[in-house]
């Protein structure tokens, strides 16, 4: 038996025929379980769809006219079918059409009728197109535009249909549902390269190019700093947060996703554009950045030489009364003591209120006095006043650890930090966890008091903001900063890796809605569903956040958002890196340089 005999098909017996007929084909695998066809819609395996086709276009089509449809946050499919037309056959028809139009113009002229601008424009267009076809500069095509929308029922389909028609009608592009032709319509939509609707309009090459479907949102402005590269089309994402509705931002990411790296890059670039920056740093990540840019670094801890007196009073502004400033400070201190003392009963809160007023009065600070140049009291002064009041024994016993106990070195001293610098960092890494929330509250209030003294463009960065969102008092204070900051030319940048703790706070979602910029980076599977609900993400965007690399994510400005990748130059990277191995290399290189100079 030769080789050719082996290649000849063999006759199958009955068992082999039965087996082959029972095997699933590709068509069996991808075929829907059921199809229900109505005149105006088609239901495929429980999902309703409606197919439309374009019937009319305007005289001129601008580039990107289809972009609003392609970027709709709806589930839809768009198919553009293009059939080339023979140029030779077209030129024969053009000759006849040009003759007809010329004849109509001549007849009107012989009758002495008024010139028809439409006829003359048509004649010029036909002549121009015929010349370009003859010179092979243009070609003609039969073009069909089909759109399929999807929904749970006809009500949802009608809503999406109204949205699409509203967008296209404004551009003088009119569509119709494929009534009684939904089955050939869906056959034309699916990616099998078949056109069964056969509803076409004729286009030459130039207007056809405006159908180009691979478009995406450009998220950029004329001024501002570079936040990154648009991953859709490699355009630049440029924005000035101080040119938006408010100046606030939120950044959510898992540990190691690059959130601190991206905000450091923004800080570095903001400093170059004249902004002042203040950072509350829980992990001492910004020390080298402060050193490299000539900023100030304050380490806040129980043994630190840097102190902030919580009784400091900001000087009244031009539009503020001293009484209002004092009352606001008293309210703030009551909130602080709630944190420090583990909550206050109503009668204890009353005692604290009276004691704060008397403590200020010891230093001649009252609602009627000008306290701009007066020395504020200390926490030990407050304890002394509290000791002379009835019912304060429990309060004093809880307060003593801050005045004379282990924690006294933290806040029972006059303020000796100066933040009138271009770049200031407050590090809380060495502060005990029990005191970290209190420390963030005190530092943030001190910064707020300093901000109100001088109007200048500032950015306040609060890294690991979930520490402040853990307590209602600190979360409320942070939210008030976000709401009032615009008046003082202040932008608040909150960064957190614990998304659930942040959103669990009653002030979590309001913080997001009061932020013009939102940056979502790589998310953990446990938090992604919460993120998807909060930001109304599609499933594709959800998976993008789960699979994002370091420095990648979604960047929101208002109602628009794009996929972004943060890019830094080599010099910027050397200054802002958080990679421990890279930091160690930089330190070793600096040490070798210093040793060689010695």
271-290 confidence digits (pLDDT tens): 998 899 999 988 888 988 88
The three-class DSSP label of residue 178 is coil
pLDDT over 90 (residue 263): yes
Query: What 3 state SS string does 528-583 have?
Result: HHHHHHHHCCCHHHHHHHHHCCCCEEEEEECCEEEEEECCCCHHHHHHHCCCHHHH
pLDDT in tens, 105-140: 777 777 777 777 777 777 777 777 777 766 676 788
Tell me the fold of 309-414: Helicase, Ruva Protein; domain 3 (1.10.8)
CATH class of 217-299+420-566: alpha beta
Contacting residues for 281 by C-beta, under 8 A, at least 6 apart: 287, 425, 426, 427, 428, 429, 463
Rg value, the chain, Cα = 35
DSSP 246: S
Would you state the pLDDT for residue 14?
Answer: 60
Concatenated DSSP letters of 299-345: E-STT-S----TT--PPP-TT--HHHHHHHHHHHHHHHHHHHTT---
User: Taking the chain, what is the end-to-end CA distance rounded to the nearest angstrom?
Assistant: 90
Would you state the pLDDT for residue 598?
Answer: 62
Round to whole Å and give the CA distance between 544 and 552.
9
Would you state the pLDDT for residue 492?
Answer: 93
8 Å CB contact between 556 and 517: yes
Contacting residues for 150 by C-beta, under 8 A, at least 6 apart: 47, 48, 49, 75, 76, 77, 157
8 Å CB contact between 546 and 532: no
Alpha-helix residue ranges (DSSP H) falling in 388-424? 393-403, 408-411
CA 596, chain centre distance (Å): 47
8 Å CB contact between 70 and 215: yes
Residue 218: band (very low, low, confident or very high) from pLDDT cuts 50, 70, 90: low
Q: Is the dihedral of CA 453, 455, 461, 466 positive or negative?
A: positive
Residue 354: band (very low, low, confident or very high) from pLDDT cuts 50, 70, 90: very high
Structural domain boundaries in the chain: 14-85+139-211, 217-299+420-566, 309-414, 568-598
Question: Phi, psi at residue 127, to the nearest 5°?
Answer: -65, -45
Query: What does pTM read for this prediction?
Result: 0.65
8 Å CB contact between 197 and 146: yes
In this structure, the strands spanning 490-496 and 560-565 are unpaired
pLDDT over 70 (residue 64): yes
Round to whole Å and give the CA distance between 448 and 146.
57
pLDDT in tens, 548-587: 898 999 999 877 888 899 999 988 988 888 766 776 776 7
8 Å CB contact between 269 and 226: yes
Classify 180 in phi/psi space as left (phi over 0), alpha (psi -120 to 50) or beta: left
Residue 81: band (very low, low, confident or very high) from pLDDT cuts 50, 70, 90: very high
Residue 3: band (very low, low, confident or very high) from pLDDT cuts 50, 70, 90: very low
Round to whole Å and give the CA distance between 490 and 242.
8
Q: Residue 153 is encoded by which pair of tokens?
A: 């029922």
Round to whole Å and give the CA distance between 593 and 598.
9
Angle between helices 87-111 and 117-134 in degrees, nearest 10: 150
What are the counts of helices (DSSP H) followed by strands (DSSP E) for the chain? 25, 18
HSE value, Cβ hemisphere, 13 Å, CA-based, for 152: 0
Angle, CA 320 vertex, CA 315 and CA 323 arms, to 5°: 80
8 Å CB contact between 284 and 427: yes
pLDDT over 70 (residue 80): yes
pLDDT in tens, 16-55: 555 555 666 777 777 888 888 888 888 888 889 999 999 9
Contacting residues for 548 by C-beta, under 8 A, at least 6 apart: 257, 521, 522
Contacting residues for 297 by C-beta, under 8 A, at least 6 apart: 286, 287, 290, 291, 425, 427
Chain-wide mean pLDDT for the chain? 83
Give the rounded percent of residues in the chain with a pLDDT score beyond 90. Answer: 19
- Among 44, 69, 67, which Cα is nearest to 147's? 69
**Intrachain domains 217-299+420-566 and 309-414 with the same fold:** no
8 Å CB contact between 571 and 293: no
8 Å CB contact between 517 and 481: no
Round to whole Å and give the CA distance between 311 and 414.
9
């Amino acid at each position: 038996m030769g080789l050719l005999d082996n290649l000849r098909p063999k006759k199958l017996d009955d068992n082999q025929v039965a087996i082959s007929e029972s095997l699933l084909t590709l068509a069996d695998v991808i075929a829907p379980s059921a199809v229900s066809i109505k005149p105006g819609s088609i239901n495929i395996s429980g999902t309703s769809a409606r197919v439309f086709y374009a019937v009319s276009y305007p005289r001129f089509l601008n580039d990107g006219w289809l972009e609003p449809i392609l970027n709709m946050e709806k589930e839809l499919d768009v198919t553009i079918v293009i059939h080339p037309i023979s140029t030779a056959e077209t030129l024969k028809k053009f000759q006849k059409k040009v003759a007809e139009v010329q004849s109509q113009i001549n007849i009107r002229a012989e009758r002495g009728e008024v010139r028809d601008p439409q006829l003359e424009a048509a004649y010029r267009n036909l002549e121009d197109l015929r010349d370009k076809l003859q010179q092979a500069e243009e070609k003609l095509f039969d073009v069909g535009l089909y759109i399929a929308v999807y929904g749970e029922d006809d009500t949802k389909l009608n809503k999406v249909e109204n949205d699409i028609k509203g967008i296209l009608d404004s551009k003088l592009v009119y569509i119709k549902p494929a009534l009684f032709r939904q089955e050939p319509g869906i056959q034309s939509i699916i990616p099998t390269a078949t056109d069964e609707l056969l509803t076409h309009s004729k286009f030459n090459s130039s207007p056809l190019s405006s159908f180009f479907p691979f478009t995406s949102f450009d998220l950029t402005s004329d001024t501002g700093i570079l936040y990154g590269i648009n991953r859709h089309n490699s355009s630049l994402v440029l924005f000035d947060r101080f040119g938006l509705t408010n100046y606030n931002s939120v950044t959510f990411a898992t540990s190691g996703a690059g959130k601190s790296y991206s905000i450091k890059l923004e800080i570095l670039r903001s400093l170059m554009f004249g902004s002042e920056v203040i950072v509350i740093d829980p992990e001492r990540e910004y020390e080298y950045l402060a050193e490299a840019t000539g900023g100030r670094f304050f380490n806040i801890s129980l043994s630190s030489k840097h102190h902030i007196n919580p009784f400091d009073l900001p000087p009244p502004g031009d539009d503020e009364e001293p009484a209002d400033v004092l009352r606001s400070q008293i309210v703030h201190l009551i909130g602080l003591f709630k944190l420090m003392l583990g909550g206050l009963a109503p009668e204890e809160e009353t005692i604290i209120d009276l004691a704060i007023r008397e403590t200020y009065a010891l230093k001649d600070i009252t609602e009627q006095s000008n306290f701009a140049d007066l020395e504020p009291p200390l926490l030990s002064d407050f304890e002394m006043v509290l000791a002379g009041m009835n019912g304060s024994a429990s309060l004093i016993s809880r307060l003593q650890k801050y005045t004379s106990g282990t924690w006294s070195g933290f806040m029972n001293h006059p303020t000796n930090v100066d933040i009138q610098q271009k770049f200031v960092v407050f590090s809380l890494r060495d502060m005990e966890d029990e005191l970290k929330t209190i420390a963030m509250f005190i530092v943030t209030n001190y910064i707020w008091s300093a901000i109100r003294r001088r109007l200048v463009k500032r950015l306040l960065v609060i890294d690991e903001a979930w520490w402040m969102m853990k307590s209602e008092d600190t979360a409320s204070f942070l939210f008030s900063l976000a709401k009032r900051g615009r008046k003082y030319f202040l932008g608040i940048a909150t960064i957190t890796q614990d998304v659930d703790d942040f959103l669990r706070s009653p002030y979590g979602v309001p913080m997001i809605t009061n932020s013009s910029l939102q940056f979502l980076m790589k998310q953990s599977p446990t938090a992604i569903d919460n993120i998807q609900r909060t930001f109304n993400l599609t499933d594709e965007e959800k998976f993008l956040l789960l699979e994002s690399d370091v420095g990648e994510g979604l960047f929101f400005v208002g109602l628009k958002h794009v996929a972004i990748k943060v890019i830094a130059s080599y010099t910027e990277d050397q200054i802002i890196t958080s990679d421990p191995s890279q930091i160690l290399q930089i330190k070793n290189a600096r040490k070798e340089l210093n040793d060689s100079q010695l």
